[in-house]
Copies of this chain bind each other. A is one copy, B any other.
Amino acid sequence: MQLAHKRMASSTHPSAPCAACKFLRRKCIQGCVFSPYFPPEDPLKFTNVHKIFGASNVSKLLNEIAPHRREDAVNSLAYEAEARLKDPVYGCVGAISVLQRQVLRLQKELDATNADLIRFSSNQNMLTIPQSPGNYPQNPHALPPNYGNYSWNCNP
C-alpha cells in the first residue's frame, strides 16, 4: 500500500487513471492492483503485458504475490511480453538459449586455458602456478532448470 502510494505520487499525473484502467476503459479506484506498476505515462508497458498474458491473468498473478514483490513481477512480465512480441516463436527463451551456449563456450575456453597453464608449469618443472583471484573454475554451473521436456531448435 505504501509502495502503491509512493508510485502514484511519483507519477507526473497523480490523479490520472493508470495505464491499465485507461486501456480497459474503467475507473481507476483507490487500491487498483495495476496502478502502482502501470503509470499513465508508459501505456506500452500495459499494452504489451495485456497482449501476451491478458489483464485478468496478470491481475490474478499480482494478487497472489506479496505487495513488495509485485514490482519485480510486473517488470519481469513486461520483459517477457516485449521479448515475445519481438520474437513470437522463442520469446525470451531465445535469450536463454544464447546465454546457455555462451556459458558452454566460455567454460570450454577456460578449461583449455587452464590446461595450457598446467602444461607450462609441467614443462618448466615448476611446482607453482601464478594465481589470480577467481582464476580457476570454482563450481559446476548453476544452469537454469529444465522445465518439462519441451525442446526447440533455437538458433537466433
Within 8 A of B (CB), among A129-149: 129-138, 141-145, 147-148
Which one of B109, B129, B150 lies within 8 Å of A135 (CB-CB)? B109
Residue contact B150 to A102, C-beta cutoff 8 Å: no
Q: How far is B71's CA from A116's CA once the two chains are assembled, in angstroms?
A: 43
CB distance from A93 to the nearest CB of B (A): 4
| Interface SS of A by simple majority | helix
Copies of this chain, how many?
Answer: 2
Q: Pick the contact of A91 from B51, B77, B113, B136 — CB < 8 Å?
A: B77
Report the bound CA distance from A90 to B56 in whole Å.
18
Quote the shortest CB–CB distance from A83 to chain B (angstroms). Answer: 5
A115 — which chain B residues lie within 8 A by C-beta?
A: 132
A112 to B150, CA, bound (A): 37
Interface residues of A in 98-156 (CB under 8 A from B): 98-100, 102-103, 105-110, 112-117, 119-120, 124, 129-138, 141-145, 147-148, 150-154
> Which B residues touch A79, using CB under 8 A?
93, 147-148, 150
Q: Of B72, B95, B105, B119, which contacts A144 at CB under 8 A?
A: B95
- 13 other A-B residue contacts (CB within 8 Å) besides A79-B150, A102-B103, A103-B103: A65-B88, A72-B152, A76-B90, A78-B150, A80-B80, A92-B92, A99-B102, A102-B141, A105-B134, A109-B110, A109-B135, A109-B137, A113-B113
